[in-house]
Structure 1
Amino acid sequence: MKRAAAFAILIFAGACQSPVVTPAPEPAAILSEGLIAPVSAEAALELYYRTLPEDFYPRAPAGVPLPADSAVLTRILVASCFDEEKEDSVTMRTLAAEDADLFLMIGDNVYGDRRGNQYVNNEPELDELRRSFRLLAEREDFQLVRAKHPMMVAWDDHDYGANDAGREFPFRRLAERIHERFWGLENEDVGAWPGTYYARSFGPEGQRVQVIMLDTRFFRSALTPTDRWNARGRERYIPSEDPEQDMLGNDQWTWLENQLQEPADLRLVVSSIQVLPTDGHGWEAWSRLPLEQQRLYELIRSTDANGVVFISGDRHTAFLYRDDAAIQYPVYEMTASSMNVSFARTSTEQDRAQIGAGYPPENFGAIEIDWQAGEVRLAVMSNTGETVNEVTAPFRQPAAP
């Protein structure tokens, strides 16, 4: 009761203010009478969230430490879209049985805005999101994966707290706290700034993998709704040329520029939503904010960042792509989706950058690095571990024999 009462007071104090969307709003202001009041509704929530006890937050089972900075990586697994309410997962158990140096769980890691088949409106304490993470932590198949693989994580809309949401989501700051505490990131660098983006590098010079985990939710502008619902290529959103729209926010853009100048031989740029596709669909993707998509490509060109490969999830279908014109060399993307939320057996979607057919059944991705050849194999795997599509992407010139 005391917690609820304090929350009500804070919301009342900030209710007459319009929400402020900034990377780090000041939580309170001093009034002329010497009293303290929130400067916005979001700031009122922030003050309240700071009072929540640690047992408020769900925690993942203890995991395997990340590889050492000097470790040479040769195999990385990738997956997204996992409904924690469903029965034991073939995909998750297959992942637990696979050998790999690292596992990237890249969004919709729970469906925290849905109970069963019904979407729910998350309340300020994000009860449904927290419940979903607790269910995930209790699953034996997930516990096996945590015990087997070092993990890096990104979020997408359903583990952010609202379907297709961006920076307008009013409870995003609590969602960030839930995410970072569940995955044990609150005391890492990512825990020190708004948003969930971070990067890690592994391996010596000549064999260095940089993994860049972007946050395409916390700072993103609202997308432009379609003018023709479910029309092919315009299913939910259409491209917008509005120069005020943003994908990453100023701080994350600056951070990314710095990361792309770090030494690396292979760079896995992880975006929860797809990067390269432009004309195959009208769902969420960087192509819905084409100026931001071009900004990303120009940043890669201007930093002369070598070895970039895009990794994405979200789509409930696995895809491979190649674009020869986006940046200064042919760039590839693997979309690995979904672990256990499959809606079809076949796909007729075709983008101009697409390699082969999409694969909608349950799946995950495998990234296999051949350091001698300077190539990376991007493979779409069935839920039982068979390769269903693959492409080999060069990331540097072959080493001398």
Structure 2
Amino acid sequence: MNYQKLILLLLITFYGCKKNKIPTNKTPKEVKNTYDFVIAFGSCNNQNMVNNFWNTIDENNPNIWIWGGDIIYSDTYNMSYLEKNYIQQKNNVEYQNFIKNKEILATWDDHDYGLNDGGIEYTKKKESQQLFLDFLNVDKNDERRKQEGVYFAKSYNVNNTNIKIIALDTRYFRTELTPDTETKKRYQPNSYGRGSILGETQWKWLEEQLKNSKANYHILVSSIQFLSAEHGFESWGNMPHEVDKLEALLKSTQAKNTIILSGDRHISEFSKKEVDGLNYPLIDFTSSGLTHSYSGFTEEPNIYRVGTVVSKKSFGLLKFNFNQNKVIFEIKGAANEVYQTLTQNY
């Protein structure tokens, strides 16, 4: 072998070994579990406070982000002031970066609606609705621009599986609540049959959405809690006949695998109920407190609670595995730590 061939052989050997060598000071990067569909959601975001979650939520690669209400805090009858607060949130640099690469869905609660614990009596609800839709960049021809209330539905087809998001409006049509004058609770349940949370028109719309649905999963977004009702604050339990009505509707329409997402409470928790006539448990996943939470929480009753209450600031995550018919629910913190998890097979 001549001198030139020897040099060439040495070079090939050297670079070939260098290319395949694994550095001894590094460990292989852990491969994250992959899921067919990921929903992130949260509520209670004061535009004047720091939100440390946007980058963390992005790390979980959600397909969609769902606002569960209280996107801003702006209790007012002054629509210029309400608009100013929406613009402040919309122009937040971290939020602008967050919404660039994903779809944003939303319903409202009382503080972005414009009236604390407000309902049908709020005289600026029509004007407030348009500002809410402006914030979300909803098209001028969208049905929500013409109807009363911000409720809507949207379906996602992924790997031959359909997930239907149904966002409810628990403010626009909600009638009077009954103050509790006997205990320290804020409200007591209305007499059975008195009042409505969704209103006649929205109830009819919801029935059609469920009755004609071929979806494998139904995600109902309710700004207020559905299952937890003993605390005495706002909830569907303020009108127990409305709770029965929704459960009866789920049974009569045989809506598959319905999951409820809620906010409002400045705490996060899982509630779970076995409903006669449904072949799956009804889960109400509450995620509340993006910029501020009920840090002084001690205890409150909830007969449907699974696990414990998380009173730290947090967001919610739903991870769908279609092959295993499984959903993993996670309450997560700003450092992406998992505060609590619930796994449900469907």
Q: What is the TM-score when the length of structure 2 is the normalising length?
A: 0.85
Secondary structure class of the residue paired with 1:356:
strand
Q: Residue 82 of structure 1: which of 45, 58, 62 is its match?
A: 45
Secondary structure class of the residue paired with 2:47:
coil
> Aligned runs of 1:157-168 on 2, under 5 Å?
157-168=110-121
> Aligned runs of 1:61-100 on 2, under 5 Å?
73-87=36-50, 89-100=51-62
Q: Residue 169 of structure 1: which of 117, 122, 127 is its match?
A: 122
> Aligned runs of 1:163-202 on 2, under 5 Å?
163-185=116-138, 186-202=140-156
Whether the aligned pair in 1 keeps the contact of 2:36 and 2:321 (CA below 8 Å) is no
For structure 2, the 5+ residue unaligned runs are: 1-34
**Equivalent position amino acid for 2:198 in 1:** L
**Equivalent position amino acid for 1:267 in 2:** H
Matched, 1:222 2:189: no
Cα deviation for residue 206 of structure 1 reads 4.6
Whether the aligned pair in 2 keeps the contact of 1:257 and 1:299 (CA below 8 Å) is yes
**Equivalent position amino acid for 2:341 in 1:** E
Whether the aligned pair in 2 keeps the contact of 1:73 and 1:203 (CA below 8 Å) is no
Bigger Cα Rg: 2
Q: How many positions carry a matched residue from both structures?
A: 309
Cα deviation for residue 138 of structure 1 reads 1.8
Secondary structure class of the residue paired with 1:388:
strand
How big is each residue's C-alpha offset from its partner over 1:41-67, in whole Å with a ceiling of 9 and x where there is no partner?
xxxxxxxxxxxxxxxxxxxxxxxxxxx
Whether the aligned pair in 2 keeps the contact of 1:323 and 1:353 (CA below 8 Å) is yes
Whether the aligned pair in 1 keeps the contact of 2:36 and 2:158 (CA below 8 Å) is no
In structure 1, the residue matched to 2:66 is 104
Q: Residue 373 of structure 1: which of 309, 324, 330 is its match?
A: 324
> Aligned runs of 1:269-288 on 2, under 5 Å?
269-279=220-230, 281-288=231-238
How big is each residue's C-alpha offset from its partner over 1:175-216, in whole Å with a ceiling of 9 and x where there is no partner?
111111221224222222110000000115851100000000
> Aligned runs of 1:184-333 on 2, under 5 Å?
184-185=137-138, 186-203=140-157, 206-228=160-182, 230=184, 235-261=185-211, 262-279=213-230, 281-325=231-275, 328=278, 329-333=280-284
Whether the aligned pair in 2 keeps the contact of 1:205 and 1:264 (CA below 8 Å) is no
Larger relative contact order (Cα-Cα within 8 Å, sequence gap ≥ 6) = 2
- CA distance, structure 2, for counterparts of residue 326 and residue 248 of structure 1: 23
**Equivalent position amino acid for 1:131 in 2:** K
Cα deviation for residue 244 of structure 1 reads 3.6
Cα deviation for residue 333 of structure 1 reads 1.4
Cα deviation for residue 220 of structure 1 reads 0.4
Q: CA RMSD in A?
A: 1.7
In structure 1, the residue matched to 2:294 is 343
In structure 2, the residue matched to 1:130 is 83
Whether the aligned pair in 2 keeps the contact of 1:84 and 1:132 (CA below 8 Å) is yes
**Equivalent position amino acid for 2:111 in 1:** H
How big is each residue's C-alpha offset from its partner over 1:350-382, in whole Å with a ceiling of 9 and x where there is no partner?
311001111111100000001011111111111
**Equivalent position amino acid for 2:254 in 1:** D
Whether the aligned pair in 2 keeps the contact of 1:347 and 1:357 (CA below 8 Å) is no
- CA distance, structure 1, for counterparts of residue 191 and residue 102 of structure 2: 42
Moved beyond 6 Å, runs of 4+ = none
Cα deviation for residue 345 of structure 1 reads 5.6
- CA distance, structure 1, for counterparts of residue 81 and residue 335 of structure 2: 30
Q: What is the TM-score when the length of structure 1 is the normalising length?
A: 0.74
Cα deviation for residue 321 of structure 1 reads 1.0
How big is each residue's C-alpha offset from its partner over 1:16-54, in whole Å with a ceiling of 9 and x where there is no partner?
xxxxxxxxxxxxxxxxxxxxxxxxxxxxxxxxxxxxxxx
User: Percentage identity across aligned positions?
Assistant: 27
